[in-house]
Structure 1
């Protein structure tokens, strides 16, 4: 009987049960799995010096001579001799910015007006480099929105958006997203801070 199962590639009951079992991943493993599955480029960093080195390598790899950077807290990561800092959004210039949260259950990255100002994600450059820390990981969108509410009690941000797709050539057939493509060529520099 086993011979016929192997010959005709018929899975036995035990194999079916193994495939049905859910795998419980840690929050960071779940995020990375979903993020990479969507086409995101992920670089894990243990020290800030690794963030600087990875950012230099990304710029060289893509021949970027300019980056849009609105957050002055990110300036120390840049070598101003190698990359010119642009302070206004331009759809042709790659963007280097922080985010609010990393959403583990679907691999999305959540932003608000604290990072994007009043600019819509869909009108921004297709090339993004996001700096985040492991403490920004949350399980789902609900926890992300709650986190924004808790961290910014006094001044709630607006323009809350998420990048949901990291392959700029992929079309989203979901009619709810019609005309609002947030697809970006995205690099994530994730710094361990826990």
Structure 2
């Protein structure tokens, strides 16, 4: 059963109560599955999460994002030719201008332990995060979930034996006005939508 079906399935009150009394406070915390951990941390960071079981649902979710933000017939910042062809039927103008309404891209990995999105020059070329539009729509699949950044970096390295991509970065801050700690100093806040397609 996929993560999102488990999340949407309601537990009965007696089941929840029984789980609370089964363990003492000294019992080690139950380790969450990677997909649940990512979902929890990503939402905590302020990201907007849209789970899709197939391409019809991806198209419907993308259409809803455009409708919600009034992004029809607007300029879209996108380097990815495959995404441009997939989302070409929405009256959008694709280009690489900095004043675009939103940035449409894929990512390298979805990092569960901090709810961040790992990107590199394959997606953003040599642009810095602050040079990209404030609004972002990222397309990813459930097979891209990794436990931590190290695992994501290993995947990048194994996929790119001849030429390791440069400009590797993560986006983790999706809420404006949120108080930043030392670890997030200098990071760019983005209004981010994640279109996540089930492929496992």
On whether the aligned pair clears a TM of 0.5, the verdict is yes
Residue of structure 1 in register with 2:31 after alignment: 24
In the TM superposition, residue 122 of structure 1 has moved relative to its aligned partner by 1.9
Match of 2:115 among 104, 107, 121: 107
- 2:82: which partner in 1? 73
Residue pair 1:126, 1:168 contacting (<8 A) in 2 also = no
Stretch of structure 1 that moved more, 163-172 or 151-160: 163-172
Which residue of structure 1 lines up, in the alignment, with residue 153 of structure 2? 145
Q: Is the 8 A contact 1:91 1:126 kept in 2?
A: no
Aligned length: 178
RMSD between aligned residues: 2.0
Residue 173 of structure 2: aligned partner: 165
2:134–2:190 contact (8 Å) kept in structure 1? yes
Distance (whole Å) between structure 1 residues aligned to residue 97 and residue 168 of structure 2: 17
> Which position in structure 2 is the counterpart of 1:120?
128
Distance 2:87 2:173 in 1: 26
When residues 40 and 177 of structure 1 are mapped into structure 2, their CA distance, relative to the original with a 3 A threshold, is closer
Per-residue displacement from partner, 1:142-184 (whole Å, max 9, x unpaired)? Answer: 001101000111111101010011112224231x654x23211
Q: Distance in 2 between matches of 1:86 and 1:79?
A: 9
Q: Matched residues in 1 for 2:82 and 2:88: separation?
A: 14
Q: Which runs of 5+ in 2 are unaligned?
A: 1-20
Query: Could you list the per-position Cα deviations for residues 102-128 of structure 1 after superposition, in whole angstroms to 9, with x for gaps in the alignment?
Result: 001110000000000111012211111
Distance (Å, rounded) in 2 between the aligned partners of 1:47 and 1:71: 20
Separation of aligned partners in 1, 2:179 and 2:95:
30
Unaligned 5+ runs, structure 1:
1-13
Q: 1:83 to 1:23 in 2, by over 3 A?
A: farther
Preserved CA contact (<8 Å) 2:77 2:100: no
2:187 pairs, out of 158, 165, 181, with 181
TM-score (structure 2 length as normaliser):
0.81
**Distance change in 2, residues 1:64/1:177 (3 Å):** same
Residues 74, 35 of structure 1: CA spacing in aligned structure 2 closer, same or farther, 3 A cutoff? same
Question: Matches of 1:87 and 1:158 in 2, distance apart?
Answer: 22
Question: Do 2:77 and 2:133's aligned partners in 1 also have CA atoms closer than 8 Å?
Answer: no
- Of stretches 66-75 and 15-24 in structure 1, the one that deviates more from structure 2 is 15-24
Decide whether aligned partners of structure 1 residues 78 and 177 sit closer, same or farther in structure 2, where only a CA change above 3 A counts.
same
